[in-house]
């Protein structure tokens, strides 16, 4: 069968440029097959059939046009071109779109776009589905991830790290604390006057745009007595299902662009598709995986008892299996009472064999959380000193290129890089 151009469109009903494309394809003026979609799910279903596409043209007014949909198209070996009549102002390139064009009145203009952006495909061919990685490290912001075993006080330690980093940031707040746990522990400890805006709202803002740093800052709540801003967590644990992975990672990347230091309090689970065979499990752990992948330093907080050390060993093993280097891990043994300090030191040297810090038991924490007032110095000083020392001694984190997970049946294929150069659809800039 002769290879032809296959074009998919995504636009509301009765868009004139879609009708023109279909008419030109029917009369033979445009050497292409046009497949019209009215909803984002319909386009995803088309991609799921495995039919190769030369190009995907999306109307700028479609609400389904978000970075996860663009990523699905790119993963299928095609690219997204936005058709904009000039009424929409969004950062299309930040979403991953290849080009922005204006509606064309001549089929020759569309044919030129296809020759430049698309490739002829065999309509009878089928390809296996692909799944893309979660992006790349694009900011020089210092990221500190804090997790731990159950009941070890990891959220309090995360706040102490943020307070320590925030005290050295100068007049303008340059430190952000992200409440990334599914139980939203930081939201409880800080007792804000309102629960919005929060992480879900910031993710929604990054679904189909890339807000400026000042806009990102408006989603965080200032904690002036501690010198940092707080991004509140999800209102309900089940809300994680509505956070699309790429939009979530883009939102967290946006925080790193808006602040010089970012502390993320997250759950310890980092299992993904490779370990469990479940996409849903990887999406549930997307925030924790982003945190440990981007972090310059990962803190693991544990209690000074047998159960705490057992949980510490399990969490450290999971992180190292995930790819966290030994020199990027710092163990924090929290709430150590006076007589236990020396014994904890010996036990940790046996169990950890790496850098760690012992934090004493501090009594007036409840009052500090309720206000919220500055956390006590006996808590902040040892944690802050250990983090600063570890950040100075660490090796520079090598930027990670976006990866591609090869699914069964894909061996021997390749993902063609999309051309991200600019252009017009009809010779005029949109």
Contact of 97 with 154, CB cutoff 8 Å: no
Q: Does residue 164 surpass a pLDDT of 50?
A: yes
pTM more than 0.85: no
Q: What pLDDT sits at residue 139?
A: 61
**Report for 34-43, 161-170, 289-298: range of highest mean pLDDT:** 289-298
Q: What pLDDT sits at residue 127?
A: 58
- In terms of pLDDT, which residue wins out, 255 or 349? 255
Q: Rg for the chain (alpha carbons), in Å?
A: 25
Query: Do strands 261-265 and 175-179 pair parallel, antiparallel, or not at all (unpaired)?
Result: parallel
Contact of 91 with 406, CB cutoff 8 Å: no
Average pLDDT on 307-315 reads 90
**pLDDT, tens digit, 9 for 90 and up, residues 366-414:** 777 777 789 999 999 999 999 999 998 876 555 554 444 444 444 444 4
Percentage of the chain lying above the pLDDT 70 cut:
83
Q: How far apart are CA 234 and CA 284, in angstroms?
A: 13
Q: Confidence band (pLDDT; 50, 70, 90) for 251?
A: very high
Q: How far apart are CA 242 and CA 203, in angstroms?
A: 10
> What DSSP string runs through 104-156?
PS-HHHHHHHHHHH---B-TT------EE---------EEEEEEESTTS-HHH
The overall average pLDDT reported for the chain is 84
Please give the domain boundaries of the chain with CATH numbers for all domains: 5-133 (3.40.50.2300), 142-393 (3.40.50.300)
As given in the structure block, the two tokens for residue 151 are 């009941």
In the sheet where 356-360 sits, what is the strand order?
221-223, 228-231, 175-179, 261-265, 142-148, 297-302, 329-336, 356-360
């Amino acid at each position: 069968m002769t290879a032809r151009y296959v074009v998919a469109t995504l636009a509301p009903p009765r868009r004139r440029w879609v009708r023109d494309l279909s008419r030109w394809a029917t009369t033979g003026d445009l050497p292409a097959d046009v497949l019209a979609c009215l909803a984002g799910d319909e386009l995803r279903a088309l991609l799921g059939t495995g039919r190769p596409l030369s190009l995907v043209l999306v109307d700028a007014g479609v609400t389904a046009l978000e970075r996860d949909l663009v990523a699905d198209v790119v993963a299928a070996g095609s690219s997204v071109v936005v058709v904009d009549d000039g009424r929409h102002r969004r950062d299309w390139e930040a979403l991953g779109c290849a080009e922005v064009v204006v509606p064309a009145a001549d089929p020759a203009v569309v044919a030129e776009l296809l020759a430049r952006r698309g490739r002829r495909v065999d309509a009878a061919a089928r390809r296996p589905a692909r799944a893309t990685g979660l992006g790349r490290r694009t900011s020089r912001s210092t990221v500190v991830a804090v997790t731990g075993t159950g009941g070890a006080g990891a959220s309090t330690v995360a706040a102490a790290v943020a307070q320590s980093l925030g005290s050295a940031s100068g007049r303008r707040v340059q430190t952000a604390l992200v409440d990334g746990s599914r139980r939203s522990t930081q939201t409880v400890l800080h007792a804000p006057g309102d629960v919005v805006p929060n992480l879900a709202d910031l993710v929604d803002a990054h679904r189909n745009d890339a807000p400026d740093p000042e806009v990102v800052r408006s989603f965080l709540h200032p904690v002036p007595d501690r010198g940092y801003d707080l991004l509140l967590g999800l209102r309900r644990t089940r809300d994680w299902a509505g956070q699309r992975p790429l939009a979530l990672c883009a939102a967290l990347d946006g925080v790193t662009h808006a602040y010089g230091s970012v502390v993320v309090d997250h759950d310890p689970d980092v299992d993904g598709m490779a370990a469990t065979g479940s996409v849903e499990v990887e999406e549930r752990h997307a925030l924790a995986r982003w945190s440990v992948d981007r972090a310059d330093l990962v803190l693991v907080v544990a209690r000074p008892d047998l159960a705490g050390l057992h949980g510490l060993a399990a969490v450290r093993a999971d992180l190292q299996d995930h790819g966290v280097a030994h020199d990027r891990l710092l163990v924090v043994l929290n709430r150590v009472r006076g007589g236990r300090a020396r014994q904890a030191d010996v036990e940790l040297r046996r169990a950890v064999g790496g850098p760690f810090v012992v934090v004493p038991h501090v009594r007036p924490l409840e009052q500090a959380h309720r206000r919220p007032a500055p956390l006590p110095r006996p808590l902040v000083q040892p944690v802050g000193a250990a983090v600063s020392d570890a950040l100075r001694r660490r090796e520079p984190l090598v930027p990670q290129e976006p990866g591609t997970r090869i699914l069964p049946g894909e061996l021997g294929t390749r993902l063609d890089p999309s051309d991200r150069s600019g252009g017009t659809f009809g010779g005029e800039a949109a």
